Amino acid sequence: MSVSIITACRNRKKPLSISMASWIQFDEVDEVIVTDWNSDESIEHLTKLSKKIKVIKVKNEPYFNQPQPLNLAASLCTSEYLLKLDNDHILNPYFNFFDLHKIEENSFVSGCNSTMWEMDAYFLYPLWGLLYVKTDIFKSVGGYNENMGKYYAVEDDELCIRLISYGLNPIPIDIQKFSALHIAHTDKDRVQNFESFENINKLLGEKQTISEEKLYSHITKISRSKNHSDYPIVSKMLDIFNKQFDGEIDIDWYREPMYKWEVTQLSDQIYEAVKL
């Protein structure tokens, strides 16, 4: 089998360096494609870890966005399977993720439908952004919804809904085997690069009766609820599970990407992309 790992990075060089070193250890992984979304520091040095690694540089993007750079990375995938990981997801060398999670044409693996939510373990439950699916199916549904990049998160839930509507069965991550782990971090690290939080420093500069940690936690919850208000993910997900065996699903599983890119290959492992 052949797997392409995709991820999107903005100023997360240190955790990505740790995670990527774990990804390239697996024989199943043919390539790791990371879109560098206008980071302050270059991540090109990571290509020295392995010839599997490809970096797509995108400049002049003031805010981080998940769907756009992920779809851009996916456009370069050449493997049969696609595994989307966040910068802080580690693949455990002792429990092979690919041996434990088998998928075919009619299934996919996602943290969104996993029982890890019930666990009070910060190295597990933030794996909700993990997605493992056949590459052609990912492209058939249009990839991630690029209308959802302003606020943190929920684009992973939305894509799972469309994959189920497409006809796939969701398979949860096997949390009894620690095949994938999450590097713990603060809520500030989680939200600070998104457009919807550009006034955070102003808020922190004002007289506050709430701690910085609690403020960022509150902002994270607001962010997810903002996306939920536009796309009532939980209610739709439950509705789909209830109806998927009755042939009543009417969710539109395709999302047209908003942007097209001109991609220039600068070397064997470095690319540059410009929005058209």
Residue spans per domain, the chain = 3-187+220-275
Q: What does the block give as tokens for 235? A: 């209610």
pTM score, whole prediction: 0.80
- Rg of the chain over Cα atoms, rounded to whole angstroms, equals 18
Q: What does the block give as tokens for 96? A: 């092979």
Integer Cα distance of 234 and 22 in angstroms:
32
pLDDT tens track, the chain, 276 positions: 899 999 999 988 999 999 999 999 999 999 999 999 999 999 999 999 999 999 999 999 888 888 999 999 999 999 999 999 999 999 999 999 999 999 988 999 988 765 555 555 555 657 878 999 999 999 999 999 888 766 666 788 888 888 988 889 988 887 777 899 888 755 555 666 666 566 555 555 554 554 555 554 555 555 555 444 444 444 444 454 444 444 444 567 888 989 999 999 999 999 999 999
Would you say the C-alpha torsion 38, 40, 45, 46 has a positive or negative sign? negative
Q: What is the DSSP letter of 64?
A: B
Would you say the C-alpha torsion 15, 185, 194, 108 has a positive or negative sign? positive
CATH number at 3-187+220-275: 3.90.550.10
Q: What are phi and psi of 232, to 5 degrees?
A: -65, 75
> In Å, what is the CA distance from 220 to each residue of 40, 60, 95?
23, 25, 32
